[in-house]
Amino acid sequence: MVRPVSKLILCIDFDGVIHSYERGWQGGAIYGAMVPGFLEWAVVAQRHFDLVIYSSRSRDDAGRLAMGRWLRDHLAGWEGKPIELRMSAEKPAAFLTIDDRALTFNGDWCDDAWRPEALLAFKPWSHK
């Protein structure tokens, strides 16, 4: 039996990457707008990758349902090509992760970037 070739997984965080998250955590409420350009980017990216949403909200059914409702509402007026997004309850074995609160490890724990003071000074794009 021949297995179909699957696409590499892009793990995409929700808050601050898809959802604007400009007011931070508000008791679990998803209140913000879609980050500009996400839908257009997703149309192109899905040609090459399986787009999987994984967030701290993903750990329970209520969080995944809330993200799903928000996405459905924000996709309702979308007139572009269909977008396939998948939710995951567990962090997928991804080729790459897109997150507004992550750093790429460079193989050197002695690099100044890993000093606690540097880490404490980190700010996501939405707070710069």
Distance, in Å, from the CA atom of 128 to the CA atom of 122, rounded to the nearest integer, reads 10
Question: pTM of this prediction?
Answer: 0.90
The phi, psi pair for 85, rounded to 5°, reads -120, 140
Domains of the chain by start residue, with CATH: 8-127 (3.40.50)
Contact 89, 68 (CB under 8 A): no
User: What are the tens digits of pLDDT across the range 86-123?
Assistant: 999 999 999 999 999 999 999 999 999 999 999 999 99
Among 25, 13, 8, smallest CA distance to 101 is for: 13
Half-sphere exposure of 49 (CA within 13 A, CB side): 20
User: What are the tens digits of pLDDT across the range 27-70?
Assistant: 888 999 999 999 999 999 999 999 999 999 999 999 999 999 99
